[in-house]
Chains A and B, each alone.
Chain A
């Protein structure tokens, strides 16, 4: 086997699967969104589906709801992850146990997380009962609507619950990778705690925080299970709306479902592109200063 071809041959099976199933899927979604559905006898290319969904109030409401959920979940979980990673960083009594607990929900499926949040936060749920015991509320309706609510707080809570640990472990790994040397040096030079955090630790963590936030944003923008369990029916989150349109008996809804998929994919693609550019520029700027 020629050495130069070797990596390509080793990569061939994986690339075939990804290109065929994933690339092909995205491409077919794009084709169906512009009205090319030969299996339904339609081959005329048109932007009608995009025009139609952009005029629907349901689409724009879903879009902004999804954007809100993704932004809020990402912001809250990244901030909490930073706090947790800093707290778990140095060894203490029970460190192993608490780190283990912190990892606990990483492999838990979102569907189960959503059921847990539902049982916890519904108006007759576990917390409502505790609030009743404490004399804070007298009947279920007094407990704030946190699931099936217009602000999608229940969905955000589930995402924060899961992704704080995900981002936190990434940050923890980064912290353990860089060690304490730079902070000790800053301390020796007279930097106080806040200065060490602001000018040493935080810049070291920023690249990992950006990567993790992008992953979390992309996931929460495109995920399906949690809104299905914890979201209100209308307006629904964008992936749920897309799926409902797709399985609609009205076949005209199918190009619209695909158009929503393309919009979701494009938005995430643009975001990834921007964040890659931003981190490149930043890295160049840092190197330039040196």
Chain B
């Protein structure tokens, strides 16, 4: 009796709805990616084939080059954003200074104001300085949406950071590099990983900024995916979508424990 009562609790229904609601859009994606013929009204594909997957991984297709571009751009953006954002995160987390609220607001502004508006505005300058149709320009424009998140996550770790350990290491004769390598880095490493993965995923997901600045020359995975969406080849669109989300899933496996719980990096957004 208690068991029946338990399963009929409203919470059980909500939990079931969460599972179905989150997972449902992935079902047709998986099915389409292995379907050969799948006409209405069949609920399951009439015949299966690995055509789409073979296409995606065939060396002649544009997919490998798109994967290469996406990876190159995302890795460069990740490295650059951490290099630039780490000192800023330290400043915002550790120091009290004049104009801190304004600086914080300015750095977070690109997370709220649509970056496409800014990118369309700056496009003329990118054209003038030869930053369109190439990887460098795309990397630079990706920094706009990526950098605020990197700084936000890193400022969080520095808010609970004790710089006295660095001073002690200095007293013991450690050089600046040694202090960073053996004191700072081990402490901030988990946050650095989360920030890096955020940076990678945000860059990896960009479509319109890449299209605008890359000018159809830097064909990353989302740019290629979109051309298949418009062409209406559902099987290849589905397979490509699944390739496109693969790093996102790896990202989640690596950082799930940081996303919720007391040390949630997303919790910071609640205090914006």
Contact = CB atoms under 8 A, between A and B. Distances in A.
A21 B112 contact: no
Interface stretch (A2-10, A54-62, A183-191, A280-288): A2-10
Interface string B13-49: 0110011011111111101100000001111000000
B32 A119 contact: yes
B159 interface: no
Interface stretch (A43-51, A106-114, A145-153): A106-114
B179 interface: no
Name the residue in B115, B147, B238, B267 with the highest tally of chain A Cβ atoms < 10 Å from its Cβ.
B267
A116 B85 contact: no
Interface string A132-176: 110000001000000000000000000001001110011111101
Interface in A100-130: 100-113, 115-120, 124-126, 128-130
A26 B116 CA distance: 10
A14 to B, nearest CB: 4
A27 interface: yes
Nearest to B99: A8
Chain B contact residues: over half helix, strand or loop, or mixed?
A: helix
A109 B109 contact: no
A169 B92 CA distance: 24
A49 to B, nearest CB: 13
A222 B114 CA distance: 5
Contact of A207 (B24, B85, B229, B270): B270
Nearest to B39: A124
B43 A102 contact: no
Given A6-B95, A128-B40, A103 B252 contact: yes
A171 to B, nearest CB: 8
B270 A212 contact: yes
Contacts, number: 291
Given A107-B248, A109-B222, A117-B25, A169 B117 contact: no
Contacts of B128: 39
B107 A110 contact: no
A176 B261 contact: yes
A32 interface: yes
Q: What does DSSP make chain A's interface, helix, strand, loop or mixed?
A: helix
Interface in A188-245: 207-208, 211-212, 214-215, 218, 221-225, 228-229, 239, 242-243
B120 A29 contact: yes
B86 to A, nearest CB: 9
B117 A10 contact: no
Interface in B86-121: 87-88, 90-92, 94-95, 97, 100, 103, 106-107, 109-121
Interface of A: 4, 6-11, 13-15, 17-19, 21-30, 32, 39, 83-84, 87-88, 92, 94, 98-113, 115-120, 124-126, 128-130, 132-133, 140, 161, 164-166, 169-174, 176-177, 207-208, 211-212, 214-215, 218, 221-225, 228-229, 239, 242-243, 246, 257-258, 261-262, 264-265, 268-269, 272
Ranked nearest first, the 4 interchain pairs of A and B with the lowest CB-CB distance are A222-B114, A116-B25, A25-B118, A29-B121
6 contacts: A10-B95, A28-B121, A29-B120, A88-B15, A173-B266, A208-B271
Interface of B: 11, 14-15, 18-19, 21-29, 31-32, 40-43, 83-85, 87-88, 90-92, 94-95, 97, 100, 103, 106-107, 109-122, 124-125, 128, 140-141, 143-144, 147-148, 151, 201, 204-205, 207-208, 222, 225-226, 229, 234, 237-238, 241, 244-245, 248-249, 251-252, 256, 259-262, 264, 266-267, 269-272
